[in-house]
Amino acid sequence: MTTDPRDRYPKPPFEAQSQAFPGLSARMHPQPDYGERSYRGSGKLAGKVALITGGDSGIGRAVAIAYAREGAQVAISYLEAESDDADETARWVRDAGQEALLLPGDISSVEHSRSLVRDTVERFGRLDLLVNNAAFQKTRSSIDEITEAEWDQHFAVNINAMFYITKAAVPHMKPGSAIVNTSSVNAKHPMPSLLAYSATKGAIANFTLGLAQMLVEQGIRVNAVLPGPIWTPFIVTGMGEDSQKSFGSQAPMARPGQPAELAPIYVHLASDEASYTTGGLYPVHGGMPIY
Ligand code: NAD
Ligand code: MG
């Protein structure tokens, strides 16, 4: 594979390929790169236990594979309809010699969110790393088109569930634990067609900065990653056909990022190497001018 970042991965135009939400990775073309063949671990997360929401596909799958190769056991939250994708992620985690725990269900339920933490701790006896990564998005061209129910679903999945799961997780997290939230470049530069989604991603960034200050007293670090356009099922379920075809052209790199290009920063933020790093927002976005 070339080392020139412009040419490492597929560029637009892509074929339009709409799938119903939440979508399946296996049906995408080209296939996303999850680092299956490239990610090399070096024990950075040895002995740790991670819970990753949306760990079945996209960024979450690349993070699950990398965490397992770094020595962590991994619990994966996802929707029932994504069990084929979740099974594939679990296969890679086990292939790395780690245990995978599959936890299907809807995180907009407080009860289910709490059960994710309870089941992870019951199975592995501890929880060191929480990756709040699941999200919902729907493109709309005017505010009239956004129903109240759809607005509420964005907030329920993207930020309310993050609060439920984090609140349940913190009592189990010892000093040295870490939380990594997935926000978006939309937190800083909201696209009007993603009005509801961008509002939740701004909330996630702000939640991250406040929580980091709160949890520093318990020795728990909290950071967020702000991805730019990344080639995942999210794109073929949440965006219109034109946006799919030209996806990635909005970044100076002129292509979308791949999940494999996100995993290393999630590893770093989770690892003890990042011991002075908390309350940070880390863009991985192919040069989009945001700050
Ligand atoms: P993805 O579709 O692979 O992951 C999103 C996951 O969210 C799904 O796999 C699903 O399991 C989970 N999810 C959605 N609703 C849920 C619910 N009600 N209950 C339980 N789980 C639910 O796509 P992705 O792009 O890897 O998304 C991961 C994160 O990255 C999201 O937070 C997304 O906002 C963020 N992000 C993505 C992009 C991009 O261009 N792909 C850009 C910026 C930020
Ligand atoms: Mg999925």
Residues with CB under 6 A from ligand 1: 22, 53-54, 56-60, 77-79, 82, 106-108, 133-136, 157, 182, 184, 227, 229-230, 232-235
Ligand 1 centroid–CA 75 distance in Å is 16
Ligand 2 centroid–CA 268 distance in Å is 23
Q: For the residues 27-36, what does the mean pLDDT come to?
A: 97
- State the pLDDT at residue 1: 79
- State the pLDDT at residue 238: 77
Hey, what domains does the chain have and what are their CATH numbers?
42-284 (3.40.50.720)
Ligand 2 centroid–CA 83 distance in Å is 9
Range 111-117, long-range pairs (CB < 8 A, 24+ positions): 113/161, 113/164, 113/165, 113/168, 114/164, 114/165, 114/168, 116/51, 116/53, 116/75, 116/77, 116/165, 116/168, 117/51, 117/165, 117/168, 117/169, 117/172
Model confidence at 240: pLDDT above 90: no
Q: For the residues 161-181, what does the mean pLDDT come to?
A: 99
Q: What is the mean pLDDT of the chain?
A: 97
- State the pLDDT at residue 228: 97
